[in-house]
Structure 1
Amino acid sequence: MKINLKYLAVLSLPLMVACTGHPAAGKWQLNSASEYQYSRLVVNFDGKAELYKKDQAIAWLHCFWTASAADAIGLECASADADAANEKFFFKVSGENSGQLMIDDTVVAQFDNEDPTTK
């Protein structure tokens, strides 16, 4: 049985289009009205993320994330310091261009999407 390559490509197209990124994925910067210690959160599509402290160019924590809801992710993060314990965060997107970073039920940073046109 010979399968036509064009036919196979047309059938697989809806599968590729149906897959979209999580709304938390992207680059998030500290909301200008916020005075928290965290300045930036970068959530990559591949399940990795980086969390930056204010005035630091290098990521303070490296994280793995999983979707916990349609608009939220859980982050498990570790620093380069081997003695430091892992930290767990929760990031919830509120609206299209803002989000809150939390530890337990405490907000530790409020972020705005650096490039809202990518959503």
Structure 2
Amino acid sequence: MKDLVADARTRVSTVSPADAMSAAGEGALILDVREPAELESNGRVAGALNVPRGILETRADESMPTAEASLVAQKSGGTVHVLCASGGRAALAADTLRGMGYEATIIEGGIQGWISAGLPVEG
């Protein structure tokens, strides 16, 4: 796992939580790839789209009936800032999205980095 995450990080850039929040106000998408139970126990970023890492490809592929419209819309010129608990799943997800033709970054520090930066969470 560590090697896969390290490899993915060589291809995907990071963004600070504050910069991701600012970009979201300008049309970027914050994508949270944690499991729903994690959002309930650790909070969620307001306005973020939750698509668990395990089903990301089915939601990011516009040819699939399960495609998520708000995610697919970013493919034509928006940026997807990916968040998880600490950064590992986000790195893998952002790299997958990049391979699918998206502009994607990793939010530094995951949800804990978001909270440490003093940014708001719900729940």
Give me the TM-score of the superposition, normalised by structure 2: 0.28
Query: Which structure: larger Rg?
Result: 1
Higher RCO (C-alpha 8 Å, min separation 6): 2
Greater helix share, structure number:
2
Give me the TM-score of the superposition, normalised by structure 1: 0.29
